[in-house]
Structure 1
């Protein structure tokens, strides 16, 4: 990686023939359909249901999980189970019994054939018009005499909170005395979505590489004293359009480019990039309309006469980088999220960093802040429940190493060395090569 950055620094240092760095980029014609190919989601979804969901039910200690899908106001878990095209009310039921794992769907007749064609469920029961799919599912539940029935009502997990008040009312009325067996699906959804298949990790790896490569390319477009933070953001938006990818989070705040004082989660402004600035790019893309990256890259704009960043800036950079490496080393199966946060906070204190409010990291995958253990809480007045969760093999994270310092104008600047990693059996590994050196941009 150091060799790669050495080449990059030469390019950034000398820029164009006239000594400036071009503000325009050469573009290539990309056909997104050819570049990405068909989405692997249908097969991955099927594999996730058959291989990961049985264990999730077991870990959550529930006998069954019931999800109700419908048109226009669907459950957030719908497309993970094949219910994204529901018109009339459909019930998806997953359970373990003495014969193994089963998935059974009660679907309106108008959608049952297409759902069955997906071949991701053991059985699709066609429900005639005028007949309640929920009532049929309840009859089956009573027949099976499930001890616990998980439903999507959750106080802590938005992905497990899709059951509406009226749907819950109707379900409880039909269940009668069985309604006391309803439990939140919080743990089921957590256990299932927090683990990614190896195929998904490889997709995230590709997304992460694009994200990092484009940020480095964006830095090559900077002309100090002329280019703005918004110019960098526009360049990255253009790359997204060329490659047919979407925003990793809210479009107005992706990418977040900031060459000034900390702004938190925000949009890029028209601030002009000047010599002496430390530039942050926080950027993520969504590929196959499904998997999301979250990577940051940092650069320093050299002042006249400088050939490297000042010692203070280098100290901040090396401190943040060391914190990131410490977090990766602590990210092992069996440890808690709060322990990973603590590992890099110790180094922050030793390096003299100001307090940073942000968690060290978060799960990343289907969304930027995905379901799974939060890597934070060690310096908070209270620890989030998700920070007490155990890290497991197959989880993917975006995480930072921090160093914050005061600026002359009274503001605060934070270097947050953010990388992505996957947890393996014996520890975590970066999805791509991490940034080792602060990128340098010459002023003239």
Structure 2
């Protein structure tokens, strides 16, 4: 814990320097890896035992082969382990509250300081036979395996590995095999307090990059294309030694209802367009840092000659999108399923005459994370399976949605106010991690103080 606090203090120093230099606060790779490992150890020591006992699983096996990794095992390997090696088997056994959860690697190697190696091929050449012996010695009541009909994140056990395991288990042990779906989903979606503290800085990095990209330094009206800006975002992410977990989208909506409007289609990427004065520009952008992801959509207005602010009707359109965010987040309460939250939010939006589309999702180790789906763009009646999962505390969500707004000033054209921001579900409700967009970004920049406002 002391080492984790020291690394957090080091990160805070980088943040302070970054703010002074107006640069994103990003750790060098070595310090980044050390912090990732300390965060993982904290999760394994403190979070995992609670989750195993909550689900009533006293043994959890995670089995993967090199280049065919289980999505869960990738979140449990040290930062310097970029993949499983040969066949890697992690064994978790709950010895009770006094002794805690035993962590073994049924593999040729220790896995850092996190998992003690428990297989010596010189003594027992058969890896499966050794695993079966370890299971028999511990005699678990339930053996959780990663297979799931609903969550791909929790369905990482390959059929060959399952068949081999079952072949080596005796009949009583075979009857104790259960799906670890809920355990795997909760492990992936629930964040520790340390991770939530860091998530604010990660979200700020993403916001800073968007503000850079949506500025006069990058966009020259009449010259710069939406494709140019998309690739600027990719280059900027690479320059900062970060990763983009999806290729960004940049599109425009404008007064002319004919050609030259690249409003995003969910079914296909928008066409490349030259960005013009008077355009409403939209970005969908996400980064990966410290193994956590962001997913943000924001809007900018390109000022016409002589303008110093966006038109009031566009500000009102953004306010409608903000109101839809409020409706959704107030309906996201602990214990409610994703489908229940979706249904309640859409009903309330309809009463307020907001034409809404909601497609929010958990985010964390994965961009489209494990946990309750709250709609999809083509499933506004609810999402079977994943939408039936209840909302859990300390889960970070991408509050993703759009509101359709008619603009008489644009010849009664209908635009979509597409917004997305990260928020965490707490016992007292939803809280935006690093604020949300409540003012349009302006190109060229007029407001030097920033546009990311608290909830």
CA contact (8 A) 2:339 2:374 kept: yes
Q: Kindly tell me: are residues 238 and 108 of structure 1, through their superposed partners in 2, closer, same or farther at Cα, counting changes over 3 Å?
A: closer
CA contact (8 A) 1:285 1:293 kept: yes
1:257 maps onto 2:262 in alignment: no
CA contact (8 A) 1:54 1:96 kept: yes
Secondary structure of the residue that 1:280 maps to in structure 2? Answer: strand
Q: Who is 2:391 aligned against?
A: 391
Q: Which runs of 5+ in 1 are unaligned?
A: 1-26
Secondary structure of the residue that 2:196 maps to in structure 1? Answer: helix
Cα distance in 1 for residues equivalent to 2:86 and 2:322 = 52
Q: Who is 2:332 aligned against?
A: 331
Cα deviation for residue 302 of structure 1 reads 4.1
CA contact (8 A) 2:64 2:70 kept: yes
Q: Which has the higher contact order (CA 8 A, sep 6+)?
A: 1
Provide the TM-score with structure 1 as the length reference: 0.80
Cα deviation for residue 389 of structure 1 reads 2.3
CA contact (8 A) 1:196 1:395 kept: yes
Q: Kindly tell me: are residues 348 and 141 of structure 1, through their superposed partners in 2, closer, same or farther at Cα, counting changes over 3 Å?
A: same
1:240 aligned to which of 237, 242, 262: 237
2:211 aligned to which of 213, 216, 226: 216
Aligned length: 404
CA contact (8 A) 1:262 1:411 kept: no
Matches within 5 A, 1:149-188: 149-177=143-171, 178-188=173-183
Q: Who is 1:147 aligned against?
A: 141
RMSD of aligned C-alpha atoms?
A: 3.2
Q: Who is 2:120 aligned against?
A: 127
1:75 aligned to which of 50, 70, 88: 70
Q: Kindly tell me: are residues 242 and 268 of structure 1, through their superposed partners in 2, closer, same or farther at Cα, counting changes over 3 Å?
A: farther
Secondary structure of the residue that 1:38 maps to in structure 2? Answer: helix
Cα deviation for residue 439 of structure 1 reads 2.6
Cα distance in 1 for residues equivalent to 2:26 and 2:268 = 28
Cα deviation for residue 391 of structure 1 reads 2.0
Q: Who is 1:440 aligned against?
A: 442
Q: Who is 1:345 aligned against?
A: 346
Q: Which runs of 5+ in 2 are unaligned?
A: 1-20, 253-261, 446-455
Cα distance in 2 for residues equivalent to 1:399 and 1:72 = 32
Cα distance in 2 for residues equivalent to 1:295 and 1:219 = 13
Secondary structure of the residue that 1:423 maps to in structure 2? Answer: strand
Q: Who is 1:50 aligned against?
A: 45
Cα distance in 2 for residues equivalent to 1:89 and 1:279 = 48
1:414 aligned to which of 413, 416, 419: 416
Q: Who is 1:14 aligned against?
A: none
CA contact (8 A) 2:200 2:433 kept: yes
Cα distance in 2 for residues equivalent to 1:89 and 1:304 = 63
Matches within 5 A, 1:304-315: 308-315=309-316
